[in-house]
Amino acid sequence: EIVLTQSPGTLSLSPGERATLSCRASQSVSSSYLAWYQQKPGQAPRLLIYGASSRATGIPDRFSGSGSGTDFTLTISRLEPEDFAVYYCQQYGSSPGPGTFGGGTKVEIK
Amino acid sequence: EVQLVQSGAEVKKPGESLKISCKGSGYSFTSYWIGWVRQMPGKGLEWMGIIYPGDSDTRYSPSFQGQVTISADKSISTAYLQWSSLKASDTAMYYCARGGQWPFPGWFDPWGQGTLVTVSS
């Protein structure tokens, strides 16, 4: 089973700043089958990025994903007040089998 | 609009059984995987398992194999997550979410609103 490690655990930034979140896999994630989700308190997670770099429908272009193999990054170019939340990466594989989530990164207001 | 609507919150005692549901609408229910995700209080997301309603092919995370049962009734576009004997440690929010099309499990989008399960004596 692939283990995903997210860092940092918490990121303290101000609105307007750039956020860089890391997701490292214990083994190569095939064909960049990696997604990013945003979760706000009391809400279900929301898909932001799939295929490592493709934005989901309706996601602002300040969100971008990059990476391949074992190292992936979610970048928020300029933080808006509504972006302060917890972010999770997930690998989902090319064939049916266990997917896994990272432990999450909380982006909080400094 | 693609939508997943989950059953309501449950309060149960240890040892009791439970089955929660997730009804899909706005798409071909039999053509996409449905996944279940656990979130314990104040913790992160855990991938539990997925089912393909078209033929009920089911895959579990090793952590949840034998602990829960995932099923689906394609005639009513509903997936289920069930326990035969609940433990206090099963207290959590449980989400269902739509995955990809066969054979590709895919990313999860959209998600249901979540079902809070509380197990307490």
Q: What is the pLDDT of residues B32-63, one digit of tens each?
A: 999 999 999 999 999 999 999 999 999 999 99
Q: Give B106 to chain A, closest Cα distance, Å.
A: 6
Percent of chain A with pLDDT over 90: 85
Percent of chain B with pLDDT over 70: 100
**More confident: A97 or B35:** B35
Which positions 62-101 of B are in contact with A (Cβ < 8 Å)?
62, 95, 97, 99-100
Nearest Cβ partner of B111 from A35, A44, A97?
A: A44
Judged against a pLDDT cut of 90, whether residue A67 lies above it is answered with yes
- For residue B7, the model assigns a pLDDT of 98
SS3 of residue B30 by DSSP: helix
Q: What would the mean pLDDT of A71-75 be, rounded to a whole number?
A: 97
Query: In this complex, do A96 and B59 lie within 8 Å of one another by their Cβ atoms?
Result: yes
Q: Residue A96: pLDDT band by 50, 70, 90 thresholds?
A: low
Q: What is the pLDDT of residues B65-85, one digit of tens each?
A: 999 999 999 999 999 999 999
Q: Give B87 to chain A, closest Cα distance, Å.
A: 23
Query: In this complex, do B100 and A92 lie within 8 Å of one another by their Cβ atoms?
Result: yes
Q: Mutation target for A interface from B107, B109, B116: give the one with most A CBs within 10 A.
A: B107
Residue type, A21: L
Q: Residue B106: pLDDT band by 50, 70, 90 thresholds?
A: confident
Please name the residues in contact with B80: beta carbons below 8 A apart, sequence gap of 6 or more: B19, B20, B21, B22, B69, B70, B71, B72, B73
Q: What does the DSSP assignment read for B74-99?
A: GGGTEEEEEESS--GGG-EEEEEEEE
Judged against a pLDDT cut of 80, whether residue A32 lies above it is answered with no
Q: Which residues pair with A12 in a beta bridge?
A: A108
Q: How many CA atoms lie within 13 A of A21 on its CB side?
A: 37
Q: In chain A, which residue's Cα lies nearest the Cα of B113?
A: A44
Residue type, B28: S
Q: How many CA atoms lie within 13 A of B94 on its CB side?
A: 29
Q: Which residues pair with B118 in a beta bridge?
A: B11
Nearest Cβ partner of B107 from A50, A97, A98?
A: A50
